Structure 1
């Protein structure tokens, strides 16, 4: 890895060391399927009101308003300071990364249960969106969006240090792209999901 790549990977590692680690209270607040969905929408599509969320999710605005307030109490989301009025409040996800320990690392049974629910809902929604794109991509084979998309899986034999290095390099590219285009607007602009899954495979003996 050259000096430029090394610097970028180091900057990414430093940046994400400051990501918010969700505590037990925040995890419990998020541990509801509808709240995970609301959080996901705010993360990907930007500010929403209780009414716009209700329309999208097929819920009542009273229900989405209740869940928005529950998320806000733990600073998972916040009210937009420059939008809305007393009757129409806009909500957004604060800028910055969040992380949580894997269920096996949870300190209490309730924290483990909350983590499992949040992770299962988050990854289920993400997988549903990927499958929706893959299953319908043939309908727009010549579409510019399909040409630019990539769904790829590869396997390499790495040491723990090489895996960490690769993660840092990929994260640096993602960070640079997000920082540059976070607030981009325009006729041809739409949200794009950027996925990066790097993890060690179990041995054949362990997976059988």
Structure 2
């Protein structure tokens, strides 16, 4: 399980342990990390407004995320009553099989991956439903949604995945730390498209 960040100049992926994984394994915490990744630093109130939650809830979960090393307070910004938060630099990964070989590790991994995918899926839907109506052609024309259906062995899948990850990393590296004028949040996940609303709003049950 890998999750990259917002395309700024970042260190290598962080290998997280089971305790950190359990600290992330809450739907709102995953959503907070996603929003900070897409839009940069925000206050608890700003996050609450975007996520449709109370500032008390976002404050609590920010403190938990800070404890486990996923977010940090922005130094020199805000006041004692208004703390600004940002995602810790670097992506995260779980490659230790002993974590996912345990019931607790599998449950935490499943929750985090499920919430990440729900967030991404909602952003795709936002673009599909509203993107062409509210964004100019210069943003909608480069958008790409691509999929391929293959029959592969496990070894071939590993080869394809590794090559795609390396290719994406080589391309993305050219743009890290370059917040050019006119830039807006863009999600690249084998699809590439401009984020319309910038936040994945959960669907009603």
Q: Is the pair's TM-score, using the shorter chain for normalization, greater than 0.5?
A: yes
Q: Where do 5+ consecutive residues of structure 2 fail to align?
A: 1-9, 192-205
The 10-residue stretch of structure 1 (119-128 or 186-195) with the greater mean CA deviation from structure 2: 186-195
CA contact (8 A) 2:17 2:99 kept: no
User: Equivalent residue of 1:79, what SS?
Assistant: strand
Q: With the length of structure 2 as denominator, give the TM-score of the two structures.
A: 0.74
Residue 42 of structure 1: aligned partner:
36
Match of 1:29 in 2: 23
Name whichever structure is richer in helix by fraction: 1
Higher-Rg member (1/2): 1
Q: 1:118 maps to what in 2?
A: 112
Q: Name the CA shift for 1:24/1:52 in 2 (closer, same or farther; >3 Å).
A: same
Residues 83-107 of structure 1, C-alpha deviation per residue, up to 9 Å, x if partnerless?
2332222211122221125999624
> In structure 2, how many angstroms separate the alpha carbons of the residues matched to 1:172 and 1:182?
15
Deviation at 1:188, TM superposition (A): 1.8
Cα–Cα, structure 1 residues 140 and 79, in superposed 2: closer, same or farther, change >3 Å?
A: closer
- Measure how far apart 1:164 and its partner are: 4.4
TM-score, normalised to structure 1, is: 0.73
> For residues 52 and 127 of structure 1, what CA distance do their matches in structure 2 show?
23
Deviation at 1:161, TM superposition (A): 5.7
Per-residue Cα deviation, 1:177-196 (whole angstroms, up to 9, x for no partner): 44343343355210100113
Larger strand proportion, structure 1 or 2? Answer: 2
Q: Which runs of 5+ in 1 are unaligned?
A: 1-14, 198-208
Alignment match, 1:58: 52
Whether the 8 Å contact between 1:103 and 1:113 is mirrored in structure 2 is no
Taking the TM superposition and a 5 Å limit, the aligned residue runs for 1:31-180 are: 31-100=25-94, 106-139=100-133, 143-156=137-150, 163-180=157-174
Task: Quote the RMSD (CA, aligned, Å).
Answer: 3.0
